[in-house]
Amino acid sequence: MKRRLFAFFIISVLVFSLRTSVFAQSYSLELTEETVHVYWNTDGTLSLDYTLLFRNNPDARAIEFIDIVLPDNNYIVSEVSAETNGHALSVEEKYQGKGPGIAVDLGEYAIPAGENGYIYVSIARIENVLNPDADTNYASATFSPTWYGSQYMTGNTNLTVIFHFPPDISAEEIRYHIPSDNWGGSQEPEISTDEMGGITYTWHDEKANGNTQYTFGASFPNSYIPASAIVEPASTEVTAFSLSPIFYIPVLVFFMSIGIAWFIQHRTSANSDKD
């Protein structure tokens, strides 16, 4: 009996110490700014340029990983790059959410508690992003900027989304979609041109938040892109996600501890029966 109690005591101490080390600090951060340039290319592909400003809250875990939701899995990871303050960051496919996405490993440039950090992410080419439109002469282009789990996020996000259209399309040929119902900014985008002479649509809201999925869209004549670039929309579910694989360690430790406890109890009982 004493041996059994001692075994459970040791396991309890082990579990408590591991849980304490993992949960002494938890993720708590603000996505202060999020700007994403969305390029609808003439070959029917999509390119993305993200600028993200994170503020790590005091007494929070260091921000070690940043996940980015992508609209489709048809990308090449070697054509994805990320940096912070001029320092290159590793990009991995160890995305923690459901659906397509990538993970940026901040490594030695992890953002400590109470500090700010800019992250730049560029995805050169994503395929299968254009869908059929209600007008058979048009293609539909929709996009949701990345977002994060509400359990991690505080504060507001100054969110800007800029659509860049192929240079030859005129403003009169483009039709914007009404943003998702949860969008607090203007439904109608600001229309301008970029350095390539292409039309741009810009949506902006200073009081958005980093834990909400917003959806924006537009349609333009499909004669400007290859017919093969227009595909039926995927049914893949995309959800908010965690920021680091270490989040799951306590769950693993818990079940391992149960197994060890059962094994020790079983052996102790067997030895007692022999005595």
Same domain (yes/no): 87, 214: yes
Q: In terms of residue numbers, what domain contains 184?
A: 29-243
pLDDT for 164 equals: 98
Lowest mean pLDDT among 146-160, 166-180, 206-220, 234-248: 234-248
- The gap from C-alpha 268 to its chain's centroid, in whole angstroms, comes to 48
Q: Which tokens in the block code for residue 196?
A: 């390539």
Q: Does 188 lie in the same domain as 158?
A: yes
Give the pLDDT confidence score for residue 239 in this predicted structure: 44
Within this chain, do residues 7 and 87 fall inside the same structural domain, yes or no?
no
Answer yes or no: is pLDDT of 128 > 80. Answer: yes
Q: What is the mean pLDDT of the chain?
A: 84
In total, how many domains does the chain have? 2
Same domain assignment for residues 108 and 225: yes
Residues 107, 231 share a domain: yes
More confident residue, 123 or 254: 123
Is the domain of 62 the same as that of 186? yes
pLDDT-derived band at 102, boundaries 50, 70, 90: very high
Q: In this structure, are 12 and 79 located in the same domain?
A: no
Spatial contact of 138 and 175, defined as CB atoms under 8 Å apart: yes
3-state secondary structure labels for all residues of 135-163 = CCCEEEEEECCCCCCCCCECCCEEEEEEE
Do residue 238 and residue 169 come from a single domain? yes
* 256 pLDDT more than 90: no
Do 115 and 179 lie in one domain? The reply is yes
> Taking the model in full, what pTM does it have?
0.78
Same domain flag for 171 and 216: yes
Of 27, 39, 5, 54, the C-alpha closest to 162 is 39
What is the band of 26 on the pLDDT scale with cuts at 50, 70, 90? confident
The amino acid occupying position 169 is I
Q: How confident is the model at residue 227 (pLDDT cuts 50, 70, 90)?
A: very high
Q: Are 171 and 164 in contact (CB under 8 A)?
A: no
In this structure, the chain runs to a length of 275
User: H or E element: which one contains 19?
Assistant: helix 2-23
Count of beta carbons in the 10 Å neighbourhood of residue 7:
17
Name the nearest CA neighbour of 94 among 84, 85, 102.
Answer: 102
Q: What share of the chain is helix, strand, coil (3-state, %, to 5)?
A: 25, 35, 40
Sign of the alpha-carbon torsion through 28, 54, 119, 183? positive
pLDDT above 80: residue 253:
no
Structure confidence at residue 97 as a pLDDT band (50, 70, 90): confident
Q: What three-state secondary structure class fits 225?
A: coil
CATH number of the domain at 33, please. Answer: 2.60.40.1730
Same domain, 155 and 232: yes
Judged against a pLDDT cut of 90, whether residue 192 lies above it is answered with yes
Same domain, 196 and 219: yes
Q: Compute, in degrees rounded to 10, the torsion defined by CA atoms 242, 245, 248, 253.
A: -170
Residue 95 is predicted with a pLDDT of 74
